[in-house]
Amino acid sequence: MSSPHAHAADAPPDPRRWIGLFVLLIANFMNLIDVTIVNVALPSMRENLGATDNQIEWVVAAYVLAFALGLLPFGRLGDILGRTRLFLWGVAAFTAASALCGMSSSIEMLIVARIIQGLAGAMMTPQVLAIATVTFPPHERGQAFSLFGLTAGLASVCGPILGGLLIEAHIFGLDWEPIFLVNVPVGIAAVVAGWFLIPRLPGHPDLKNDFIGIGLFGLGIVAVVFPIVEGRAYGWPLWAFGLIAAGLVLIGLFVLWTKRRADAGLPQLLNYDLLKNRDFMFGAFVVTIYASGIPGMFMIISLLLQSGFGMTPLQSGLTNTPFSVGVLIASLIAGRFGSNYLRARLGAAGLMLAGGIGSLHLIIGAAGDTINSWSFFVPLLIAGIGLGTGFSSLFQLVLRNVPPRDAGAGSGALQAFQQVGGALGVALIGEIFFTHLSGAFAGGSAPTAAFAESASLALWYQVVSFGLIFFLAFAFKPSGGQKPGGAPQPVLVEA
């Protein structure tokens, strides 16, 4: 008997595939723009909800962490239940969580809603490219996939500006809430249209998920990230270090459990062949470092510009926009290089990021009572071009060391490492920034000086980590594994 996928391959393409793709792109755009729009609103949330420094970190970190932990299990769940079904569930849950975010009356409620929103995003995202892959014949996939890159670039550019406009418009007397509520009508429209337009893809109920592996991996990552965010507020007690140690033990147990499942021929959350592939794990380490720098950076830049120097949300969003434009430019150009000069491109990306952010470090450190937003233009543009250049080459470098049979699992795992890196970066950069900020205020520094000194100090994390990427780029060894350049690669943008 032929499999459903084999039958689909022999059948003529679905006539609704292009309009169905539009629905997928709308949902993907909604998820991506939510990533970039939130940072602009952080100072308003901090003021209106009376949030502490740690709680503001959690508004960003909770979403990224939940998204990271949900990617792998929800990707497998899509295989089991059917990707179209899980996509529609994910969009509906994301829409409901967005409404909950917008109606939050306390910072605690907002953080919980952000966790739900992150899990819903993780439910939706793995299904999108998989649905497009099955729906489109091979000769149309390149054109279809190129639209995903364009959507990501547009979301990164629109997010900061749209966030500023929505906050300053004070729609119905609201402040930051519309940045989430705007998702509600879009999400409802996407669910209704998707129900009628996206072909139903059959699931495979015989497949199983590794629930113990999910628990070990999730608890291990949370146990590491939680004390990094909260430790400062409690004066770094012994339990914080104990929790980090326990998290590392849980991650070790996850590896052992995965090996046991592999030896028994049972499904694993993260393919054990990848865990014992040294080239892949080295690449995953580089991805984690690479992805750790940007989310935390824009968190502190938004706080610097608005809380420190009194800019409006729109002014802050416009100041950050050159970075997103740089990412868009790089994404459009990167495809022309294909799989050529990958290590050189990654090394150049590390230099551009370190140089651009290093210049920003100097500009912020030299700021007086005012700061010129135009001085951010060139450094952020260079850094944005660096980020867009680096991600496309980095994923290809790592995946070429992966056998073709593990390529899908490897790509999903890299996205999970990418998001874990983002959560760790928010925690570490927030620790540097808020610790110095508290000390500066305690020492009697003026707000502008306190924010500038703290932001300038925190940016050293990015300068060092991206400088390290330059050297790590040339540590990748050529491999006879999968040839790079086939599948589209995700780009993390925070602006």
- DSSP for 184-235 reads HHHHHHHHHHHHHHSPPPP--TT----HHHHHHHHHHHHHHHHHHHHTGGGT
Q: Would you state the pLDDT for residue 408?
A: 62
Per residue in 218-260, pLDDT (tens digit) is: 999 999 989 988 888 788 899 999 999 999 999 999 999 999 9
pLDDT band with cut points at 50, 70 and 90 for residue 129:
confident
pLDDT band with cut points at 50, 70 and 90 for residue 95:
very high
First vs last Cα of the chain: how many Å apart? 50
Q: Determine contact, residues 25/151, Cβ cutoff 8 Å.
A: yes
Q: Determine contact, residues 116/103, Cβ cutoff 8 Å.
A: no
Share of the chain above pLDDT 70, in %: 92
Whole-angstrom distance, CA of residue 452 vs CA of residue 163: 23
pLDDT band with cut points at 50, 70 and 90 for residue 149:
low
- For CA atoms 230, 285, 335, 481, the dihedral sign is negative
10 pLDDT higher than 60: no
Q: Determine contact, residues 71/418, Cβ cutoff 8 Å.
A: no
Cα–Cα distances in angstroms (integers) from residue 459 to residues 134, 228, 411, in the given order? 43, 18, 29
Q: Which H or E run contains 398?
A: helix 377-399
Q: Determine contact, residues 95/43, Cβ cutoff 8 Å.
A: no
Assigned token pair, 117: 């929103």
Assigned token pair, 241: 């270090």
In angstroms, how far is CA 415 from the centroid of its own chain? Answer: 8
Q: Would you state the pLDDT for residue 493?
A: 45
Q: Determine contact, residues 97/113, Cβ cutoff 8 Å.
A: yes
Which amino acid would we find at residue 66?
A: A
Assigned token pair, 302: 């938004």
Length of the chain (residues): 495
Assigned token pair, 86: 């899980």
Q: Determine contact, residues 401/277, Cβ cutoff 8 Å.
A: yes
Most confident of 150-164, 325-339, 460-474: 460-474
Q: Would you state the pLDDT for residue 132?
A: 80
Per residue in 403-460, pLDDT (tens digit) is: 766 666 777 788 888 888 888 998 899 999 999 999 998 888 888 999 999 999 999 9
DSSP assignment letter at 490:
-
Q: Phi and psi (nearest 5°) for 201?
A: -100, 125
311 pLDDT higher than 70: yes
What integer best gives the mean pLDDT of the chain? 86
In the block, residue with structure tokens 């060894």: 477
Rounded average pLDDT over 42-62: 90
pLDDT band with cut points at 50, 70 and 90 for residue 146:
low
1 pLDDT higher than 70: no
Q: Would you state the pLDDT for residue 150?
A: 72
Q: Determine contact, residues 232/57, Cβ cutoff 8 Å.
A: no
Q: Determine contact, residues 100/62, Cβ cutoff 8 Å.
A: no
CB atoms within 10 A of CB 172: 8
DSSP assignment letter at 170:
T
Per residue in 11-40, pLDDT (tens digit) is: 677 777 788 888 888 888 888 888 778 888
Assigned token pair, 84: 């179209």
Q: Which of 9-13, 88-92, 221-225, 364-368 has the lowest mean pLDDT?
A: 9-13
